[in-house]
Amino acid sequence: MRVKHLIISFLVICLVLAGCSNDDNKDNSKAKNNKSTQTLHVSAAASLTDVTKDLEKAFKKKHKDVDVSFNYGGSGALRQQIEKGAPVDVFMSANTKDVDALADKDKARNTYEYAQNQLVLIGVKDSNYHSVADIKRDDKLAIGEAKSVPAGKYAEQYLKDNNLFDKVKSNLVYAKDVRQVLNYVEKGNAQLGYVYKTDLYQSQQNGDSKVKEINTTDLKKPITYKSATTTDNKLAKEWINFLKTNKAKDILKKYKFDA
């Protein structure tokens, strides 16, 4: 009987210790959950898809408990999303117009012009085009939608300023953003396209690029990228301040932006 009593006592002690261990694990789990990670929501122009990944890494070195969530697209489309109440803390546009439009409605603050870019005409690698004026009747010229994609607006304005728009109008195919333009030309769905110099550079860096630069457009005004905070999230302003640092500027220059 004594042995049986000892065995029962031992089992009871084990159950008590196991219960305490489970409670400790629950407490540790709660502690981890209480240490919540903050999220910074950034809507960025499609031409920033690659560079923002490096910007995020640099930003997180001093903001280790921050997750940066990016939403990419045409600047005009992103602006419309913000106007409709999309949960966005920072807007990084590929122009100044869309940020200014939000600022006029008191939906954007702490504005900052963080970079400039160039618009280039690209074609398939084995093409013998020298300018957009060389386009053949059945060939396609890809540009972004002028109403929502700054690169498309720049391209359209360039064509009109140089009396080329009517000549190529029947050749135009429109894309939702500048990355789609690049994709059209790379896959042969369009023989020519207008993209940013930075997009062409990234395509060439990623491996065997199927496109080449034909020429750089001579625009009347420089292509200026502008950013702003769109909520009162403290991290949003810290991101804007980060864009002003030499580290951020060096990253932008690495990807061929002027900063």
For the annotated binding site for molybdate, the residues are: 47, 75, 151, 178, 196
Nearest-5° Cα angle at 117, 63 to 192: 125
Q: What are phi and psi of 181, to 5 degrees?
A: -60, -50
Q: How far is CA 44 from the centre of its chain?
A: 4
Among candidate residues 138, 31, 44, 160, the one with its CA nearest the CA of residue 91? 44
For residue 172 the two structure tokens come to 């135009």
Among candidate residues 77, 107, 108, 70, the one with its CA nearest the CA of residue 94? 77
Annotated binding site: 47, 75, 151, 178, 196
* SS3 per residue for 94-141: CCCHHHHHHHHCCCCEEEEEEEEECEEEEEECCCCCCCHHHCCCCCCE
Pair type for strands 172-175 and 223-229: unpaired
Pair type for strands 172-175 and 38-45: unpaired
